[in-house]
Amino acid sequence: MLFLSHANPEDNEFTLWLALQLANEGYPVWCDLAKLLGGERFWTNIENAIRRRTVKFLHVLSATSNEKVGPRQELQLAQSVERTEKLSDFIIPLHIDALPFSDANILLQGIIGISFKAGWQIGLASLLRKLDEEKIPKKPGFNPATVADWWRSNCGPDQGIRDENEEYASNWFQISEPPRVYLHSLKRSGIGLIELPAGSPVPAYQDGISLFSFAKATEIERHLQKSDISIARSDDFGFLDYILQAPDDRARRKRESCLCNLLRIAWEHSMVLRDFPQHALANRASCSYFVDGFASNNTIRFQGVFGRPAERAMIGFKTVRNGKRYWHFAFSCRAICRPMLAFVVRAHVVFSDDARTLWSSASRLHRARRSQCKNWWNPVWRDRILAAVSWLAHTDGMIRLPVADGLCVEACPQPVRFRSPVSYLDPQAEADSALPPEPTGDEEFDPFRLDEMEDDDDEDEDATPADGEEVEGRWSRWSALRNRGLNSDSARWWKIRGTG
């Protein structure tokens, strides 16, 4: 098992977080804060636990643990075990605060530690890499479901909830009032389906014989000239008026669906015009992805969520057994009409062997995505969405989607922000705001080792997880917050800062 040594209570918050993350990854953990986690026997005799059961001694190094008697005694015992059993890298220091390493306990001198100072997620990724390289065994009783059960039993849904306002950034981008919508009724002179020919030069959504577009009949008819389809009648409406004037709720939902589909098609049409390659998704939607050479170092500079300059790589590679596996950040969009008119941008990751042509196998893409993105935490997804949206903005700061001759749909590239009446304790808030910039090269940033060889390539990492399996274990505290104040199934939320 992994033994977590720390200063109690000063370093408890970090230690419990780390214990649950390691258990979530399948590693058996001994920690005085997580008794009986995974059914593991709680060893009241710490000396026996270190001598008989421990495969790695994880020493949480802080200014407090460096001076406190308990952690120092545990460290001395671990060093004795390491020396007696002739173990290699038995002790792994985890550096979590500003203590200079030169001031660390003399027993740690010459031992290479792992830094968590730039961000707990970054340190965790390094530690997991280290454990994986040394083939530390896992235990079936330690898994996301076990962590979720332990949290519910020991902490409760209100753990860490605070009664104060909190501001959140979303993945919603508000749309300015669109142009008027035309509802064209189609007819056919011959026999067959009434269907708009492929390759329409303007965004259009067909529902039965009704064709929704921002383009007038004359513009649509130019596309219909070589077919036996024509327009029988056209009516135009204000975009929101068409929804509000629906005779009943069923008709309103139907009209909302048609107009939201029209906006989604307008987005996808604009991405094609901007030469973004498309990758097919379910429900006739698609996502756009970045290819090699789209920008200098394949990196976008943008204004981060905290208002400071930031940058993110949108393409990178990982060196695997058969060569290089390139990852491409991709994004898709759908529109919503309530509670506001907005585009909802969602993140995806796709893969290629040459930084341009995507793999065709859906199962292979899925396996690579699980491997590549398992340590992409919220700030990574958030920033890459913001970077992608900022890339689409024009010089005046607005996103413009051409929808007809001389007409555009405009959207703001800054995410919609919401205020929740309650907040929660987030030990990562400060660390996330201090994340270092990514390297400017193409290699995917790995804080433990940049030039690693990944042995498994694209091999399966067990079966596909059940829906919500990981989310429930990792975000139980957020579920309580959402239930108490901020709730929407159509958005992704990122904590910004307390607003008092």
Average pLDDT, the chain: 83
Residue 193 pLDDT greater than 70, yes or no? yes
Is residue 426 a part of any domain in this protein?
yes
pLDDT of residue 32: 85
Establish if 74 belongs to a structural domain: yes
- The predicted-structure confidence for 343-393, as pLDDT tens digits, reads as follows 999 999 999 999 999 999 999 999 999 888 877 888 899 999 999 999 999
Alpha-carbon torsion (466, 468, 471, 473), positive or negative:
negative
Residues 245, 320, single domain; the answer is no
Q: Are strands 407-411 and 399-404 parallel, antiparallel or unpaired?
A: antiparallel
Whether residue 33 has pLDDT greater than 70: yes
The pLDDT of residue 451 is above 80: no
Lowest mean pLDDT among 53-57, 141-145, 247-251, 468-472: 468-472
Domain membership of residue 133 (yes or no) is yes
- Give yes or no: residues 187 and 232 share one domain: yes
| 160 located within any domain | no
- What is the average pLDDT across 217-225? 93
CATH code of 93's domain: 3.40.50.10140
Residue 314 within any structural domain of the chain: yes
The whole domain housing 213 covers 181-259
pLDDT of residue 479: 39
Clarify whether residues 205 and 280 are in a common domain: no
440 pLDDT exceeds 90? no
Residues 270, 414, single domain; the answer is yes
Per-residue confidence (pLDDT) for residue 426, from 0 to 100: 60
**For range 10-31, the mean pLDDT:** 93
User: Which amino acid, 391?
Assistant: W
The pLDDT value given to residue 491? 64
- Judged by average pLDDT, the poorest of 29-43, 320-334, 397-411 is 29-43
Whether residue 325 is found in the same domain as residue 218: no
Measuring CA to CA, how many Å separate 342 from each of 2, 281, 387? 47, 21, 18
Lowest mean pLDDT: which of 151-165, 206-220, 284-298? Answer: 151-165
Of 272 and 38, the structure prediction assigns the larger pLDDT to 272
Same domain (yes/no): 69, 117:
yes
Tokens found for residue 230: 């024509």
pLDDT band at 292, cuts 50/70/90? very high
Query: 188 with 139, same domain?
Result: no
Average pLDDT score over residue span 411-436: 72
- Enter the tokens of residue 174: 């508000």
Task: Say if 83 falls within a structural domain.
Answer: yes
Mean pLDDT of 42-61: 85
Q: Is the pLDDT of residue 206 over 50?
A: yes
The domain boundary residue, chosen from 209, 240, 259 = 259
Pairwise pLDDT comparison (283 vs 422), residue with the higher score: 422
For 316-342, what is the mean pLDDT? Answer: 93
- Examine the domain organization and report whether 118 and 93 are in the same domain: yes
**Residue bearing the bigger pLDDT, 145 or 153:** 145
Instruction: Assess if residue 217 is contained within a domain.
Output: yes
Q: Are residues 396 and 472 in the same domain?
A: yes
Would the pLDDT of 465 be above 50? no
And the tokens for 16?
């419990």
Are residues 311 and 208 both part of a single domain? Answer: no
Structural domain count, the chain: 3
Question: Is residue 389 domain-resident?
Answer: yes
Q: Does residue 245 sit in the same domain as residue 335?
A: no
Beta-bridged to residue 5, according to DSSP, are 59
Res 321: pLDDT:
85
> Would you state the pLDDT for residue 61?
95
Q: Quick one: pLDDT at residue 16?
A: 92
> Is residue 163 very low, low, confident or very high in pLDDT (cuts 50, 70, 90)?
confident
Q: What is the pLDDT of residues 403-417, one digit of tens each?
A: 999 999 999 999 999
Backbone angles phi, psi at 405, to 5 degrees: -55, 115
Give the residue-averaged pLDDT of 261-270: 96
pLDDT at 80: 94
Q: What integer pLDDT is reported at residue 337 of this predicted model?
A: 93
What is the reported pTM?
A: 0.68
Q: Are residues 201 and 338 in the same domain?
A: no
Q: Which phi and psi (to 5°) does residue 188 adopt?
A: -135, 135
